[in-house]
C-alpha cells in the first residue's frame, strides 16, 4: 500500500547487489552522506558498476516514478529517466546489467504485476511480461539466471483489503516467462530479504489482520526447491531492510537494519551469520526509520530513504559492518591447472587491489610478481604452486594450491614391424609401441605426406624396392617423438619361374625317353614305316 498507516505498513525493497570497489571506513560504524534528491519511502534500490539506483516509492502518500543515481565515490546524486509507472512497494533485481522493477502498488490497495526494465547504458525503459500475481511489499532476488519473487501483499475483498501471501513466482528474464516454485513456510509481507551462497533469506515482516509481527528466518534453496528455518530474528520488526556482504571487504553476513515494531520506528542493526546460524548486534543507524532500502557497494551498506512516522526521508547513510577491513584479498590461480605441461604461464585473479603479490613454488621462498609471468627453468616432474596477496591493512590471502607436472620429453616409439630387412610380401603390418599414451599418431611412407592413425595398421600392396617409413607421436602437452625404419620389398616372380620349370620338365622328359631307346638297341626312326599292300 502507498498510504503509510501504522496498522498496515507497506512498501520497501531490499535487493541483493554485487560488491564493486574499495572504501575505507571504521568497522561497525555509520557515516552520513549527501541526501537523496527526492524524499520517499517504499523505494527499491539496485547497483550496477558501483552506482546505486533508487527507483519508485511513495512521498506524501503518493506514488512516485523517480529514478535517481548515487555515486558512492563522489557522494553525488543525479536524476535519470523516470520509471514509466509510478508505484511503491516494488521488487527490484539486477540481471545482466539491467534493473527489473516488478509489482508494487499504484495507490491504496491497487496492486500491480508490472515488470518494467531499466537499462542504465541507454537510460531507457522497456516493458516485459507482468508478474502473474499482482502484489506489493515483496522482494526480488536473483539466483543463477532466475529472479525469485516471494510473499508480499495481494488484494483481499475483506478489510483492510490486503492479505499476506506465501506464493513463490519465478521469472526467467532470458525467455520472458514466469513459473511457480514451492511456497515459503510462513506467508508474510513487509519482510527483509538477502541472498548468500545461492540461498534466499526471508527475515521478519508482518501478517494481517492486526499487523502481527513475524520473527521467522525462512531460507529457500532454489537448487533443491526446498525451504528450511534458521535462527529467528532477535528483535521483531517489519519493513526493515536487509543486505548481504559477500566476503569482499567484510565477512559474509546479513545486516538487518531499521524497521517498525509495536508503534515504534527502529534504528537498530542486527547481524546474522549464516555460517554458524547466529545473530549479533551492530551499531545503530543514525536515522530512525522504516520503509528504507539498502544497497551494497564494496561491502559497505548504504541505507537510503524511508519514513520515521512523521517525515518522508531522503537520508543516505553508509554502514561498515563488523569485521570490515579484516578480510584478506581472494586470489585464484587460473593457470596452471592440475595437469601436465611442457611450459607454464602463471596467471591469476585477485578480487581487489593488493599491496603485494607473490608466489611460492615447491615450498620455496616467495617470488614477488606484479602480473602474469612465465615460470622458467622448471624441472621434469611434479610441482606445487601457491599465490599470496597482501592488502594495505596487512590481510594476507592465499590462493588455491595447484599441483602440476612438467614434461618436455617426447614420446619414445619402438617399431615391432617392419624392421630393417627385406620382405617377400607387399602387405606390411605397421606395429609399434610408445612410452606413454599418445595424443595423436601419424606415419609418413616414402615422403608421401603424413597419415593420421589411431594405432597399428596394414600398409597394403607396397611395390618392390626400398621404402622409408617414419612414425610420429605427440603427447598431451605437444612433445613430438619420431622414429624411422628402412626396409625392402622383394616379391618372388611366380609366372616366369613357372614357365622355366615347365621347360626344364619337358627337356628332362625328352632326355629320359632317348636314353631308354638307346639302351634297348632301337635306333631312332627317321622315315615313315612301309605300308603293306
What is the DSSP pairing of strand 428-434 with strand 413-417? antiparallel
Rg (CA), the chain: 42
Distance CA 15, CA 222 (A): 17
Q: Please give the C-alpha separations between residue 375 and each of 295, 332, 333, 387, 407, in angstroms, as whole numbers.
A: 42, 17, 14, 13, 14
Q: Please give the C-alpha separations between residue 231 and each of 212, 217, 254, 304, in angstroms, as whole numbers.
A: 19, 6, 12, 27
Instruction: Find the range with the poorest average confidence among 63-77, 415-429, 517-531.
Output: 517-531
DSSP state, residue 516: H
- pLDDT at site 517: 56
Note the pLDDT tens digit of each residue in 179-224: 999 999 999 999 999 999 999 999 999 998 777 999 999 999 999 9
- pLDDT at site 52: 98
Residue limits of CATH 2.120.10.80 in the chain: 29-320
- pLDDT at site 25: 83
Answer whether 354's CB lies under 8 Å from 389's CB: yes
Question: pLDDT at residue 28 above 70?
Answer: yes
Please report where in the chains the cell 620338365 appears, as a residue.
Answer: 505
C-alpha cell at 146: 532466475
End-to-end Cα spacing for the chain = 152
Distance CA 418, CA 399 (A): 52
- pLDDT at site 412: 96
Q: Of 330, 356, 331, 364, which is closest to residue 346 (Cα–Cα)?
A: 331
Q: Taking the model in full, what pTM does it have?
A: 0.77
What is the DSSP pairing of strand 381-390 with strand 413-417? unpaired
Please report where in the chains the cell 526509520 appears, as a residue.
Answer: 289
Distance CA 128, CA 354 (A): 42
Note the pLDDT tens digit of each residue in 46-59: 999 999 999 999 99
20 confidence band (pLDDT: 50, 70, 90)? very low
Arithmetic mean of pLDDT, 458-471: 96
Answer whether 165's CB lies under 8 Å from 113's CB: no
24 confidence band (pLDDT: 50, 70, 90)? low
Question: pLDDT at residue 492 above 90?
Answer: no
Note the pLDDT tens digit of each residue in 1-16: 333 333 333 332 323 3
Distance CA 299, CA 277 (A): 20
- pLDDT at site 521: 57
Sheet with 192-196, edge to edge strand ranges: 192-196, 199-203, 217-221, 226-229
Arithmetic mean of pLDDT, 146-150: 98
Instruction: Find the range with the poorest average confidence among 70-74, 105-109, 401-405.
Output: 105-109
Helix (H, G, I), strand (E, B), or coil: what is residue 451?
strand
493 confidence band (pLDDT: 50, 70, 90)? low
Answer whether 227's CB lies under 8 Å from 216's CB: no
Note the pLDDT tens digit of each residue in 283-301: 999 999 999 999 999 999 9
Architecture per CATH, 331-406: Sandwich (2.60)
Distance CA 44, CA 10 (A): 13
- pLDDT at site 515: 52
Question: pLDDT at residue 23 above 60?
Answer: no
Question: pLDDT at residue 484 above 50?
Answer: yes
Strand partners, 177: 172
Q: What is the CATH number of domain 29-320?
A: 2.120.10.80
Distance CA 514, CA 528 (A): 19
Note the pLDDT tens digit of each residue in 397-454: 999 999 999 999 999 999 999 999 999 999 999 999 999 999 999 999 999 999 999 9
499 confidence band (pLDDT: 50, 70, 90)? very low
Arithmetic mean of pLDDT, 85-90: 98
Arithmetic mean of pLDDT, 504-522: 51
CA quadruple 249, 252, 258, 259: dihedral sign: positive
Answer whether 348's CB lies under 8 Å from 331's CB: yes
Answer whether 340's CB lies under 8 Å from 404's CB: yes
Arithmetic mean of pLDDT, 246-269: 95
Note the pLDDT tens digit of each residue in 153-190: 999 988 888 999 999 999 999 999 999 999 999 999 99
Note the pLDDT tens digit of each residue in 365-400: 999 999 999 998 899 999 999 999 999 999 999 999
Question: pLDDT at residue 115 above 80?
Answer: yes
415: number of Cβ within 10 Å: 17
Strand partners, 86: none
Q: Please give the C-alpha separations between residue 520 and each of 30, 506, 511, 513, 523, in angstroms, as whole numbers.
A: 142, 22, 15, 11, 9
Residue limits of CATH 2.60.40.1220 in the chain: 413-489
Question: pLDDT at residue 532 above 70?
Answer: no
- 8 sits in which H/E element: none
Helix (H, G, I), strand (E, B), or coil: what is residue 506?
helix
Question: pLDDT at residue 230 above 70?
Answer: yes
C-alpha cell at 206: 508482518
Protein fold of 413-489: Immunoglobulin-like (2.60.40)
Answer whether 326's CB lies under 8 Å from 260's CB: no
Amino acid at each position: 500500500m502507498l498510504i503509510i498507516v501504522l496498522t498496515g505498513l507497506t512498501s520497501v525493497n531490499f535487493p541483493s547487489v554485487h560488491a564493486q570497489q574499495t572504501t575505507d571506513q571504521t568497522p561497525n560504524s555509520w557515516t552520513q552522506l549527501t541526501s537523496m534528491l527526492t524524499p520517499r519511502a517504499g523505494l527499491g534500490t539496485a547497483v550496477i558498476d558501483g552506482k546505486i539506483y533508487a527507483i519508485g516509492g511513495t512521498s506524501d502518500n503518493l506514488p512516485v516514478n523517480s529514478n535517481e543515481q548515487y555515486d558512492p565515490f563522489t557522494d553525488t546524486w543525479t536524476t535519470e529517466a523516470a520509471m514509466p509507472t509510478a508505484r511503491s512497494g516494488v521488487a527490484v533485481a539486477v540481471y545482466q546489467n539491467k534493473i527489473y522493477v516488478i509489482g508494487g502498488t499504484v495507490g491504496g490497495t491497487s496492486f500491480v504485476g508490472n515488470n518494467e526494465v531499466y537499462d542504465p547504458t541507454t537510460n531507457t525503459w522497456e516493458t516485459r511480461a507482468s508478474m502473474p500475481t499482482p502484489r506489493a511489499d515483496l522482494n526480488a532476488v536473483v539466483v543463477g539466471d532466475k529472479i525469485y519473487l516471494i510473499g508480499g501483499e495481494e488484494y483481499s475483498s475483506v478489510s483492510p483489503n490486503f492479505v499476506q501471501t506465501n506464493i513463490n513466482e519465478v521469472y526467467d528474464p532470458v525467455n520472458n516467462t514466469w513459473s511457480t516454485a514451492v511456497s515459503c513456510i510462513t506467508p508474510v509481507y513487509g519482510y527483509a530479504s538477502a541472498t548468500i551462497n545461492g540461498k534466499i533469506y526471508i527475515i521478519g515482516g508482518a501478517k494481517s489482520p492486526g499487523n502481527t509481527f513475524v520473527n521467522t528466518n525462512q531460507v529457500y534453496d532454489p537448487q533443491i526447491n526446498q525451504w528450511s528455518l534458521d535462527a529467528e530474528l532477535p528483535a521483531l520488526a517489519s519493513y526493515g531492510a536487509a543486505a548481504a556482504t559477500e566476503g569482499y571487504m567484510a565477512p559474509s553476513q546479513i545486516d538487518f537494519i531499521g524497521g517498525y515494531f509495536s508503534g515504534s520506528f527502529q534504528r537498530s542493526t542486527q547481524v546474522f551469520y549464516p555460517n554458524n546460524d547466529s545473530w549479533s548486534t551492530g551499531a545503530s543507524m543514525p536515522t530512525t526509520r522504516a520503509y528504507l532500502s539498502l544497497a551494497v557497494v564494496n561491502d559497505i551498506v548504504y541505507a537510503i530513504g524511508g519514513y520515521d512516522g512523521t517525515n518522508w526521508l531522503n537520508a543516505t547513510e553508509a554502514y561498515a559492518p563488523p569485521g570490515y577491513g579484516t578480510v584478506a584479498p581472494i586470489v585464484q590461480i587460473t593457470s596452471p591447472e592440475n595437469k601436465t605441461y611442457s611450459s607454464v604461464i602463471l596467471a591469476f585473479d585477485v578480487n581487489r587491489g593488493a599491496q603485494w603479490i607473490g608466489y611460492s613454488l615447491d615450498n620455496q621462498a616467495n617470488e614477488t610478481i606484479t602480473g602474469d609471468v612465465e615460470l622458467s627453468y622448471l624441472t621434469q616432474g611434479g610441482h606445487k604452486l601457491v599465490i599470496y596477496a597482501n592488502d594495505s591493512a596487512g590481510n594476507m590471502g592465499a590462493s588455491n594450491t595447484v599441483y602440476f607436472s612438467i614434461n618436455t620429453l617426447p614420446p619414445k616409439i619402438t617399431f615391432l614391424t617392419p624392421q630393417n630387412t627385406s620382405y617377400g610380401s607387399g602387405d606390411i603390418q605397421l606395429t609399434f609401441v610408445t612410452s606413454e599414451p599418445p595424443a595423436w599418431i601419424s606415419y609418413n611412407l616414402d615422403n608421401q605426406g603424413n597419415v593420421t592413425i589411431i594405432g597399428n595398421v596394414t600398409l597394403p600392396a607396397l611395390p618392390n624396392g626400398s621404402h622409408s617409413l617414419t612414425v610420429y607421436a605427440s603427447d598431451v602437452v605437444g612433445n613430438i617423438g619420431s622414429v624411422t625404419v628402412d626396409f625392402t620389398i622383394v616379391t618372388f616372380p611366380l609366372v616366369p619361374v613357372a614357365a622355366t620349370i615347365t621347360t626344364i620338365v619337358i627337356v628332362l622328359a625328352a632326355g629320359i625317353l632317348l636314353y631308354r631307346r638307346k639302351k634297348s638297341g632301337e635306333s631312332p626312326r627317321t622315315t615313315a614305316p612301309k605300308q603293306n599292300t
